[in-house]
Every structure is written in structure tokens, then in C-alpha cells.
Structure 1
Amino acid sequence: MSRTLISVLILLAVLLVVFTLASGVVLVVFAGALLAVGIRGLACPLAHRLGIGEGWGVALVSVLALLIMGLVFWLAADALTAQANSFRQELPGLMDSVRRSLSQYSWGQWVIQQVDPRRLIPDDAAAGQVASIAVTSLGGVLGGLGDVVLIVLLGLYLASDPGTYRRAALRLVSPAARPRMLELMDEAGRVLRGWLGGQMFAMAVTGVFIGSGLWALGVPLAGLLAVIAAIFGFIPYIGPIISVVPAILVALGQDPSLVPWVIGLFVLSQNIEGNILTPMVQSRTADLSPAYLLGAQALMGSGFGLIGVVLAAPLAALVMVAVKVGYVEGWVEARPREAAPPLVIRQ
């Protein structure tokens, strides 16, 4: 067995052990790397155009992103806060309207009985159950905020000096395998940049389209529902199904006749994204078939929860690149390779 094959097998074994023992940490690190890819995708062209270093480009993009988010929040905060307060005030009335609408049907009466809080929590254990749920929820929120901070810091560090980490990764394999390893990293970066840019564009288009449609239909809280739809649009296929639920509930409370129109609006939005926007992006990056992507989401969701579902698509794209470059081209087709490059590589 050659030294090249042994080094690759050892690296794969170490990655498998780390992923098994600390899968949550691995997913957080991958999310940070995905953020770094997005930052570099914006920073490098900007730095070259302005004639500054790529590190300064990363800093400039980070500052601009903070300023833009702050400006958007400042402009939209009042409207979204008003809509959120309106939703909180109207929620009891909306739930009553939904309950009255569902009670007209036998299946609706069954649904109402199943979601009755008195059936979910016994009276003698209600206080303890509520306290336990509150503590668990608080811990989850704090843990999620900590993960977000860690992802942002990792993204900034990785984007500022990727060459250091690329050289470290190359040292883990034998010199003969380094050209293939370098090709794999370059191709992975290209695919992830394309996928991330396409998702951001699709999210923006989805939010504008859904918000305009709900406003035209006269559905309350159109802006808030559009933001929810745009955020969940980051999760292909499953995200739109989740985001349509609050829109249906609001429409049902306002006017049950609006529900088919709301569903039709979300279906039309999903078709535009799935049949026009996504193929345009995937034709230039990784062609992720619906069955493959849904399978990856189901697998990651069952093992790692929400963060697994969110990261399933880029992980699936990364696996496709690894299989194509590392296995098909590097092993099955066995193309002859050049001599190993020096460790001083471009960032």
C-alpha cells in the first residue's frame, strides 16, 4: 500500500472519528467556513478593484455588512416591531377564528382536541412542566446565540487568512496527493460560493415576491410574513413548507377565503425558485437533484436537528465535489498528475 493511499485513509479515519465524537462542533466549524467563503467571494473582487490587500477587503466587506444590516434594521425596525406587536395582540383573536373555522369539520374538531393544552400537560404537573420547558428553552436560546457568535468569529478568521489553513490541510497528506487535495479545495470553494450566492439571491427574490403578493391580497402582517419566508428560504424544499404555515394561520384568521390564494402564492413562488432561479445557479455550480437533497436533509435532520437541515444542502454539495474530484477523477479514472506543488500557495 502506497504512502499516498495510507495518508488519505488516515485523514479520512481522523475526520470520521472527530465527526462521530463532536458532530455539533464540526457543523459549527463548517458553518463558519461557509460564512468565510461568502465573505471572500465579496472581498476578493472588491480588493482587486480597489487595489488593496485581500485582508483589507475582508475588513471592508465586514464593516459594510454591519452598516447595511444596521441601516436595514433601523429602517425596518419600526414597521416590523409594529407588525410583531399587532400579531401578538391579534393572536388570540386569530386563534379563535381558526378554531371556529376548524370546528365546522369533523377532522377539524379532532385537530382542536389534539392541540388542546389541557390534554398536553396534566394539571398536577403543569407548574413543573412549564418550568422545565422554560429552563430548557432558555438554555437552547443561549446555546444558539453562542453558536452564532462562534460562527461569525470563525468566518472572519478563516476569511482573513485562508492560506494558513490551506497549507495546514495540505501537510496532512503525502506530497503526491497534494495537487489533488489543492484541486479539491479550489473546486469546493467555487461550488460553495456559487451555491451561497444563489441562495442569497433566491431568498431576496422570495421575500419581495411573497411580501408583494400578501400585500396585494390584503393579508395582515405581510412584511413580517415576507421576512419569515425569506429566512426559511435558505432551506431548500423544506423551508417554504415551514414558512407557509404562519401565513395560512394569519389568512385563516382574517378571511378563510384567502387561504387558497395564499397557498397558491407560495406554490407559485416555490415554482419560480425551483424551476428558474435554482437551475440558473446550479447549472454553474453543483447540480443537486431534489431526491438527493431531500435525502440529505432527512439524514442530517434526524441526526443533528435544525442545524443539520440548514447545512444539509452545502454539505451535500461538498460531498459531491469530494466524490467527483477525490474518488472519480483521482481514483477511478486515475488521471496522471503533475509533481507536488510547493507549500507556498495562493490564498
Structure 2
Amino acid sequence: KIRIPKALGIAITYIIIIAIISGLFAIVIPPLIEETTKLFQTLPPNLDYLLSIVAVDKSVLQNQLTELSKNIFSITLTVFDNILTIIFLLVLTFYLLLERQSLENRIASFFIGRQERVKGLIIQIEEKLGGWFRGQFFLSLVIGTLSYIGLLILGVPYALPLAVVAGVMEVVPVIGPIISAIPSILIALTISPLLGLAVAVMYFVIQQLENHLIVPQVMKRAVGINPLFVILAIAVGSRLLGFAGALLAVPIAVVIQIIVAEIIEEKNI
């Protein structure tokens, strides 16, 4: 058997993942760019029509856009900072994977006489959190696909970029689906009020399916916790810490469940 160095193995895994994502982008990006370009080209007349419907003073909107343009530098810095954060997390993850065994041993060394049990606990947590990440990615694909199919059926233009927004915003609990629905509804309103209502109903149905069926079932399979527990965890997390609490609710609940189960098992022994 050929023994591949650990660092090389992790690097190859990264390359394969990046290649797969790049391949998917190569398929999706060209039509996405085309539809997005058309969307921005039709924004001025559509915006005038929408303003006439909702009776918004155009001068007020222009003033708000002027204020927004003044903050464009800080917005650019924020975007750049987020990109650097993603790169930092990728590099950090690489080194954590590289030193995984060493880190496990160091953490376990603090629990004299229970090193093996602690190592087993760490492995369980790693596996469950990995399942959570995979589940979250799968949820984005499902919601994006459902949104795309729904928008196509209703005949809403620019379905692909709007569906991509829905898939990306899926990672933002509670408010993500609401934010992703707004541009679709506004575009539908430029065609007819009835279509705007239909799109709003479609997103509402998808959100209800997501909250009460898709998320609980996917997370049950991904991390092995009760669907009701998932719903309660997200509700409590969002109430206590808002967006951050809702985002981290499931992984924190997973860690708590594993630790509590370990404590109960140890007491029974």
C-alpha cells in the first residue's frame, strides 16, 4: 500500500472539493450572469413601476441611495474582511485537520484517568458537527431547488439568480428565507399584483415546509437528534441570542446532547 503523507492527503481533499465546486460554478455561473445582467438592465423601469404602486416618493429613495453610496467604502471593506475571514477559516481548518490527533491528545490529557473516554467524546462531537455542516449544505440545495422550480412554474423571470439567493440565505436562520423572498416578490409585482401574491404564498409554503418538515428531518438524519429538539433548539437560540443563537442552536444542542448522554452513561456504570 502507498502511504500518503497526512498534509498531502488533506491538500488533495481540498483540491478535489474546490474542483467539484468550480465545476458546478462553471455550469451554473454563465446562465446566472446572463439572467442577473438582464435583471439589472430592467431595474430602472421596474423600479419606477414599483414606486408608483407603493406610492413612495422617488426623491426620498434617491436621498437614501445617496447616503448608501457614501458608505460604499466601508461596505467594500466589510466584504473584503469577510473574504479574508473565509480564507483564514480555510487555513485554520487545514492545520486543525493536520494536528487533529495531537489536539485530541492534549485535550484528553487534562482528564487524568479518563483520556480514552474523552477522546471518544471528541470523536463523537466531530462526527456530529461534520454531519451538521453536510446537512446545512444539503438544506441550501433543497431550498434553492424548490425555489427555482416554484419560480419557473409561476413564470417569474430571473428564476435562477433568485433561487441562488434563496439557497444562500438558507444558512441565515429565521430571517434568511424572508430576505430571500423580497426580491422575488418585488419582481413578480412588476408583472402583476396577482403574481406577486402567488410568489409570496409560494415562499410562505416553502418556509413552513422548511421549518416543520425539511430542517427537522434533515438534521435528524445528519446529526441524529429528535426533530422536535431541533425546532426547540432553534426557537430558544433565536430568542436568547438572535441570529447567532439560531445559527449555532443545532450544533450547540448536539454537543450538549453528547455530553449529557456521556455523563448519564458514566453514572449508570
TM-score band by shorter chain is 0.7 to 0.9
More off after superposition, 285-294 vs 61-70 = 285-294
- Residue type matched to 1:270 in 2? Q
Q: 1:178–1:322: structure 2 CA closer, same or farther, 3 Å change rule?
A: farther
The offset of 1:52, in angstroms, is 6.5
1:202: which partner in 2?
139
Q: Separation in 2 of the partners of 1:62 and 1:257?
A: 47
Q: How far 1:296 sits from its partner (Å)?
A: 1.8
Match of 2:231 in 1: 290
Q: Report what 2:97 is aligned to.
A: 159
Give, in whole Å, the separation in 1 of the partners of 2:30 and 2:95: 34
Aligned to 2:83: 145
State the match for 2:51 in structure 1: 99
Counterparts of 1:70 and 1:156, CA distance in 2 = 19
Equivalent-residue separation in structure 2 for 1:70 and 1:174 (angstroms): 44
Match of 2:60 in 1: 116
What is the percentage of aligned positions where both structures have the same residue?
24
Q: Which letter does structure 2 place at the counterpart of 1:67?
A: A
Give 5+ residue unaligned stretches, structure 2. none
Aligned pair partner of 2:184 in 236, 244, 247: 247
The structural deviation recorded for 1:174 is: 3.0
Task: Please state whether the residue corresponding to 2:267 is helix, strand or coil.
Answer: coil
Report the RMSD for the aligned CA atoms in angstroms.
Answer: 3.1
Q: Go from structure 1 to structure 2 and tell me whether the alpha carbon gap of 1:79 and 1:119 turns closer, same or farther (over 3 Å shift).
A: closer
Indicate which of 55, 58, 62 corresponds to 2:10. Answer: 58
**8 Å contact 2:185–2:199 — kept in the other structure?**
yes
Task: Please report how far the alpha carbon of residue 301 of structure 1 lies from its aligned counterpart in structure 2 after TM superposition.
Answer: 4.4
* TM-score between the two structures when normalised by the length of structure 1: 0.66
Give the 5 Å matches for 1:56-95. 57-95=9-47
Q: CA separation in 1, counterparts of 2:63 and 2:115?
A: 61
Give the Cα–Cα distance (whole angstroms) in 1 for the partners of residues 126 and 210 of structure 2: 23
| 2:213 aligned to which of 262, 269, 276 | 276
Match of 1:106 in 2: none
Farther-moved stretch of structure 1 (75-84 vs 174-183)? 174-183
Q: Residue 267 of structure 1: which of 172, 181, 204 is its match?
A: 204
**Matches of 1:271 and 1:90 in 2, distance apart?**
31
Correspondence for 2:168 among 202, 225, 231: 231
Alpha-carbon distance, 1:325 to partner: 4.1
- Taking a change above 3 Å as real, the CA distance of residues 53 and 264 of structure 1, as seen in their structure-2 partners, is farther
1:149 aligned partner, one-letter code: I
> Which structure has the bigger radius of gyration?
1
Aligned residues: 264
Q: Distance in 2 between matches of 1:118 and 1:91?
A: 14
Give secondary structure in 1 for the equivalent of 2:171.
Answer: coil
Instruction: Indicate the larger mover: 218-227 or 56-65.
Output: 56-65
Residue identity opposite 1:316 in structure 2: A
**Could you say which residue in structure 2 is the equivalent of 1:317?**
250
Q: Distance in 1 between matches of 2:217 and 2:161?
A: 28
| Secondary structure, aligned partner of 2:156 | coil
Deviating more after overlay: 206-215 vs 289-298: 289-298
**Quick one: which of 85, 102, 123 aligns to 1:186?**
123
User: Structure 2 length normalisation: TM-score?
Assistant: 0.82
Aligned residue type for 2:231: P
Cα drift, residue 170 of structure 1: 2.1
DSSP 3-state at the match of 1:175: coil
Shift in Å, 1:273: 3.0
SS of the equivalent of 1:176 reads coil
Check whether the contact 1:240–1:270 (CA below 8 A) recurs between aligned residues: yes
Q: Which has the higher contact order (CA 8 A, sep 6+)?
A: 1
Contact 1:184 1:326 in 2 (8 A): yes
